[in-house]
Structure 1
Amino acid sequence: MITTPRFAIEQALRTVPFSMSADHVHQAHEIYYLLAGERYYYINQRVYALQKGDLIWISKHDFHRTSNKGSGSHERILINFDESFVATPMPVAPSSDHNPLLLPEKSFLLRPSAEEQRELEHLFRQMLDEYHQEHAYRQMYLQSLLLQLLIRIRRIQSAAPDTIAPERSEKQQRVYSIIEYLHAHYAEKLSLDQLAGHFFISSTYLCRIFKQTTGFTLVEYLQDVRVQQARAYLRETNWKVTSIAEKTGFDSIAHFGRVFKQYTGHTPLQYRKKHQKEQGNGR
Structure 2
Amino acid sequence: MYYNAPLLYEQAYSITINNAEAPLYYFFDYDERSYNINMEFQHFHQFYEVHILLDGKASHIIEGDYYALQPYDIVFLRPALLHKTEYPVGAPRKRLIINFAIPADTPCLGGMLRQALAPFDAEVPIYRLGDAERASAFGYLNDIFTLGKQPRTPLTELAIHSKFVEFLCAVAQACPRNTYVPQEFDDSITHKIYSITSYIHSNYAQELSLDYISKKFFISPYYLSHQFKSVTGFTLINYIQMTRVRNAQQLLLYTDMKIADITAHCGFTSFSQFNRVFNKFCHTSPSLFRLNGSAGITPANNYIQLPAESREA
2:219 aligned counterpart, secondary structure: coil
Does the 8 A contact of 2:34 with 2:87 survive in 1? no
1:271 aligned counterpart, secondary structure: helix
Does the 8 A contact of 2:45 with 2:79 survive in 1? yes
Aligned pair partner of 1:106 in 121, 131, 154: 121
Whether 1:4 and 2:17 are equivalent positions in the alignment is: yes
**Structure 1, unpaired ranges of 5+:** none
Matches within 5 A, 1:199-238: 199-203=217-221, 205-207=223-225, 209-211=227-229, 214=232, 216-232=234-250, 234=252, 235-238=255-258
Aligned pairs, how many?
268
Per the TM alignment, residue 140 of structure 1 is displaced from its structure 2 partner at its CA by: 0.8
Per the TM alignment, residue 277 of structure 1 is displaced from its structure 2 partner at its CA by: 2.9
- Matched residue type, 1:261: C
- Matched residue type, 2:121: K
Does the 8 A contact of 2:56 with 2:70 survive in 1? yes
Does the 8 A contact of 1:48 with 1:166 survive in 2? yes
Does the 8 A contact of 1:123 with 1:145 survive in 2? yes
Does the 8 A contact of 1:35 with 1:74 survive in 2? yes
Does the 8 A contact of 1:35 with 1:52 survive in 2? yes
Once residues 237 and 151 of structure 2 are traced to their aligned partners in structure 1, the CA distance between those partners, rounded to angstroms, is 47
User: Structure 1 residues 84, 246: CA separation in 2 closer, same or farther (over 3 Å shift)?
Assistant: closer
Once residues 128 and 10 of structure 1 are traced to their aligned partners in structure 2, the CA distance between those partners, rounded to angstroms, is 10
Aligned to 2:182: 166
Per the TM alignment, residue 113 of structure 1 is displaced from its structure 2 partner at its CA by: 3.2
1:13 aligned counterpart, secondary structure: strand
**Structure 2, unpaired ranges of 5+:** 1-13, 19-24, 298-313
Once residues 91 and 211 of structure 2 are traced to their aligned partners in structure 1, the CA distance between those partners, rounded to angstroms, is 32
1:66 aligned counterpart, secondary structure: strand
> C-alpha offsets along residues 150-171 of structure 1, whole Å, 9 cap, x if unaligned?
12212332333x5x24344443
Aligned to 1:128: 145
- Matched residue type, 2:117: L
Does the 8 A contact of 1:38 with 1:70 survive in 2? no
Does the 8 A contact of 1:260 with 1:267 survive in 2? no
Matches within 5 A, 1:1-283: 4-5=17-18, 6-69=25-88, 71=90, 73-84=92-103, 90=109, 92=111, 101-104=115-118, 105-107=120-122, 108-131=125-148, 133-136=150-153, 137-160=155-178, 162=179, 164-169=180-185, 170-183=188-201, 184=203, 188=207, 190=209, 192=210, 195-196=213-214, 199-203=217-221, 205-207=223-225, 209-211=227-229, 214=232, 216-232=234-250, 234=252, 235-239=255-259, 248=268, 252=273, 255-261=276-282, 266-278=284-296
Q: Which has the higher contact order (CA 8 A, sep 6+)?
A: 1
User: Structure 1 residues 238, 151: CA separation in 2 closer, same or farther (over 3 Å shift)?
Assistant: closer
Once residues 77 and 196 of structure 1 are traced to their aligned partners in structure 2, the CA distance between those partners, rounded to angstroms, is 39
Aligned-residue CA RMSD (Å): 4.0
1:256 aligned counterpart, secondary structure: helix
Does the 8 A contact of 1:223 with 1:259 survive in 2? no
Per the TM alignment, residue 17 of structure 1 is displaced from its structure 2 partner at its CA by: 4.1
Once residues 56 and 15 of structure 2 are traced to their aligned partners in structure 1, the CA distance between those partners, rounded to angstroms, is 32
Does the 8 A contact of 1:187 with 1:249 survive in 2? no
Once residues 86 and 12 of structure 1 are traced to their aligned partners in structure 2, the CA distance between those partners, rounded to angstroms, is 32
- Matched residue type, 2:62: I
TM-score by length of 1: 0.74
Does the 8 A contact of 2:35 with 2:88 survive in 1? no
